Structure 1
Amino acid sequence: MKRYLLLLRNEPLLRRLSLIQLIAYFGAWFSNVAIYTLLIEMGADAATIALVAALHFLPGVFQAPLSGVIIDRIHPKRLMLILTLIEIVCTLSLISIDNVGMLWFLYLLVFIRMGASSFHFTVEMSLLPRILEGKSLQIANEIHSIIWSLSYTLGMAMSGLVVYWVGVKAAFLLDASLFVIVLALLSTLKIEVDFLISGLKLSRMMKEAFSYIRTNPIVLHLMMLHAILGFTAFDALVALAAKHYYSQIIAVSLGIGLLNAARALGLIIGPMVLGHWVNNARLGWLFLAEAVALALWAFFIDDFYGSLLASVAVGFVTTTLWSYTYTLLQHHTHSDFYGRIVAYNDMIFLGVGAFASLLIGYLAVMGISLGMITLLLGSIFMVASLYYRWIRRTYNLKEIG
Structure 2
Amino acid sequence: MRGYVELFKTFPLIRSLSLIQLIAYFVTWFSNVAIYTLLLQVGASPFTISLVVAIHFVPTILQAPFSGAIVDRTRPKKLMAVLLIVECLSTLMLLNITTKEDIPLLMLLVFLRMGASGLFFATLMSLLPKIISGRNLQKANEIHSIIWSLTFSLGMASGGGVVHLFGVYVAFVIDGLFFVVAFLLLVRLEFDTNISKTNLSFFGSIKEGIEYLRRHKLIIHLMILHSLVGFTVFDTLVTLLADFYYREVISIPLAIGITNSTRAVGLMVGPLIIGSLINKERLLLLLLFQGAAIILWGFVQKDFHMGLAGMFLVGFGTTTLWSYTYALLQERVAPRFLGRVIAYNDMLFMSVTAIVTIFIGLSAKIIGLENISYILGVAFLVNGAYYRLVVYPKIE
Q: Which category describes the TM-score, using the shorter chain as reference length?
A: over 0.9
Aligned equivalents of 1:115, 1:296: Cα separation in 2: 34
Match in the other structure for 2:388: 389
User: Residue 196 of structure 1 aligns with which residue?
Assistant: 196
Tell me which amino acid in the other structure corresponds to 1:158: S
Give unpaired runs (5+ residues) of structure 2.
Answer: none
Offset of 1:183 from its aligned partner? 0.6
Q: Does 1:352 align with 2:352?
A: yes
Distance 2:61 2:349 in 1: 8
- In structure 1, how many angstroms separate the alpha carbons of the residues matched to 2:91 and 2:193? 32
Q: How does 1:228-267 map to 2 (within 5 A)?
A: 228-267=228-267
What corresponds to 1:9 in structure 2? Answer: 9
| SS of structure 2 residue aligned to 1:276 | coil
- Preserved CA contact (<8 Å) 2:287 2:321: yes
Partner SS for 2:73: coil
Q: CA separation in 2, counterparts of 1:337 and 1:63?
A: 17
Residue 230 of structure 1 and its aligned partner are, at CA, apart by 0.8
What is the CA-CA distance between 1:196 and the residue it aligns to?
A: 3.1
2:166 aligned partner: 166
1:2-46, Cα deviation, whole Å (9 max, x unpaired): 111110111110000000110001112211110111111111111
Asked whether the 8 Å contact 1:146–1:268 carries over to 2, the reply is: yes
CA contact (8 A) 2:94 2:109 kept: yes
Which residue pairs with 1:221 in the alignment?
Answer: 221
Residues 1:368 and 2:354 are matched in the alignment: no
Please state whether the residue corresponding to 1:39 is helix, strand or coil.
helix
Q: Give the AA of the match of 2:336.
A: D
* Counterpart AA for 1:385: G
Question: Offset at 1:197?
Answer: 4.4
Residue 392 of structure 1, CA deviation: 4.1
1:146-190 alpha-carbon deviations (Å, 9 max, x no partner): 112222343122210110011100000000011000110111112
Quickly say closer, same or farther: Cα 1:153–1:359, change in 2 above 3 A: farther
Task: Note the C-alpha offset of 1:145.
Answer: 1.0
Once residues 153 and 378 of structure 1 are traced to their aligned partners in structure 2, the CA distance between those partners, rounded to angstroms, is 23
| Contact 2:259/2:311 (8 A) holds in 1 | yes
Alignment partner, residue 212 of structure 2: 212
Instruction: Establish whether residue 125 from structure 1 lines up as the match of residue 122 from structure 2.
Output: no
Q: Aligned-pair distance for 1:96?
A: 1.1
Does the alignment pair 1:100 with 2:100? Answer: yes
Equivalent-residue separation in structure 2 for 1:391 and 1:257 (angstroms) = 38
Q: Distance in 1 between matches of 2:334 and 2:171?
A: 42
- Distance in 1 between residues matched to 2:374 and 2:125, nearest whole Å: 31
Number of residue equivalences: 396
Per the TM alignment, residue 390 of structure 1 is displaced from its structure 2 partner at its CA by: 1.7
1:101 shift after superposition: 0.9
- Provide, for residues 331-351 of structure 1, a one-character-per-residue CA deviation record: whole Å limited to 9, x for no partner: 111111000000000000011
Aligned AA for 2:300? Answer: F
Following the alignment from structure 2 to structure 1, what is the Cα–Cα distance between the partners of residues 356 and 228? 10
Matches of 1:215 and 1:393 in 2, distance apart? 19
Q: Which amino acid aligns with 2:283?
A: L
Give CA deviations for 1:89-127 in whole Å, capped at 9, x if unaligned.
Answer: 101100111001111100100011011111101100000
Question: Is the contact between residue 293 and residue 313 of structure 1 (CA under 8 Å) also seen in structure 2?
Answer: yes
With the length of structure 2 as denominator, give the TM-score of the two structures: 0.98
Q: CA RMSD in A?
A: 1.0
How far does residue 199 in structure 1 lie from its aligned partner after superposition? 4.3
- Deviation, 1:376, is 0.5
Residue identity matched to 1:97? I
Give the whole-Å Cα distance in 2 for the aligned partners of 1:53 and 1:277.
34
1:377 equivalenced with 2:376 (yes/no): yes
Amino acid of the residue matched to residue 119 of structure 2?
Answer: F
Answer yes or no: is 1:152 the counterpart of 2:138.
no
The 5 A counterparts of 1:55-74 are: 55-74=55-74
How does 1:269-348 map onto structure 2 within 5 Å? 269-348=269-348
Q: Alignment identity in percent?
A: 47
Q: Amino acid of the residue matched to residue 89 of structure 1?
A: L
- Rounded to whole Å, the distance in 1 between the matches of 2:318 and 2:155 is 17
**One-letter amino acid matched to 1:375:** Y
Q: C-alpha distance in 2, partners of 1:70/1:271?
A: 32
Does the aligned pair in 1 maintain the 2:294–2:314 contact within 8 Å?
yes
User: Is the CA contact (8 Å cut-off) linking 1:72 and 1:197 kept in structure 2?
Assistant: no
Decide whether the 8 Å contact of 2:153 with 2:265 is kept in 1: no
Query: Residues 88 and 180 of structure 1 are in contact (CA less than 8 Å); yes or no, is this contact kept in structure 2?
Result: yes
Report the equivalent of 1:81.
81
